[in-house]
Amino acid sequence: MKEPKIFIISGSVGAGKDTILRQLKQKRDDLYWAITTTSRKPRSGEIEGQSYYFISPEKFRELINRDAFFEYENVYADKYFGMTRKEINKALQENKNIIWQIDYRGYNTIKDKLGGRIVSIFILPPSLEIAKKRIQKRSRENKAFIEERLELAKKEIEASKNYDYRVINKEDQLDKAVEEILKIIDKEIKN
């Protein structure tokens, strides 16, 4: 049997990656959806064990000290995100192709560890101005926080050059972005 592929999906702040991933998940139940652990609070509509595993920053640091993570990052403001070794081992045991949402820093950490099994897809906003509008719409934070997130988006967009595929999530064309990613997944599974 063919070795499963690991589809890394990343995106810049304001690209709409969470919305795209929800759509993909509804369309493809044949894939293993690796679940990230985070120390941030759940957003409206996020479900424990489906969206993320939500734990406290203290618990996250405890797991780091126990070497429980395959990969992790302190992304901003004491908010950690990471993939536990347990979750990756569970995914690999199921022998399914895997979808793994991860940021560009995490991708840089794991790409050498997993090599040719990885297919990387980066989701981009159509412009920084649109990204800023999406950040403002979603955030109740102050202006400084929004500007910080926009600076992060610029770094993420620059890092997208290191990915196998780049998909632009244009305004009012969510379905097109989802279909483009599905075509990439199907193509790569056949190869």
pLDDT per residue over 142-188, tens digit each? 777 778 888 888 899 999 999 999 999 987 788 999 999 999 999 99
The predicted pLDDT at position 112 comes to 80
Q: Average pLDDT of the chain? A: 88
pLDDT per residue over 2-33, tens digit each? 788 999 999 998 888 888 998 999 999 889 99
Reported as a pLDDT band with limits 50, 70 and 90, residue 1 is: low
Reported as a pLDDT band with limits 50, 70 and 90, residue 68 is: very high
| Range 6-190 has CATH code 3.40.50.300 | yes
Helices (H), 39-173: 57-65, 85-93, 104-114, 128-138, 143-159
Average pLDDT over residues 92-118: 86
